[in-house]
Amino acid sequence: MLREELIAYCLGKPGAYLDTPWEDDTVVKVAGKVFCFLGAADGPGGLTVKNTREGVVEWRDRFPDHVTVPRYLNKALWSRIELAPPGGPDDDDVRELVDDSYRLVVAGLPKSRRPT
């Protein structure tokens, strides 16, 4: 999946918007909370997303060379997904990862801040 396609998919979620809180690093947020880290546009192709503890283990077991521990985030709940190397998650997998991350972040919001 190309970066532009990934951004478009993320922005298709209710209430989603882009932010660049750290220089060139791009994130996608909902109600002020990050649900997808995209990194710098000229960086390696990938994303970092949230999942359940079980989901994190499952994805790392399925794609041990492509789904890894992210820097600076809770390693039990967030995963870094490398998109460039062959044999990694396909586009449907990436959409599922983004969907799960968005759903978990929205579920953690107060009901009054959840997008409709």
> Mean of the pLDDT values across residues 71-89?
90
> Mean of the pLDDT values across residues 45-60?
95
Spell out the CATH class of 3-111: alpha beta
- pLDDT greater than 90 at residue 83: no
> Mean of the pLDDT values across residues 74-94?
91
pLDDT-derived band at 33, boundaries 50, 70, 90: very high
7 is written with which tokens?
Answer: 């951004």
21 is written with which tokens?
Answer: 């809180």
- pLDDT greater than 80 at residue 60: yes
Q: How far apart are CA 5 and CA 87, in angstroms?
A: 19
Q: How far apart are CA 94 and CA 96, in angstroms?
A: 5
pLDDT-derived band at 24, boundaries 50, 70, 90: confident
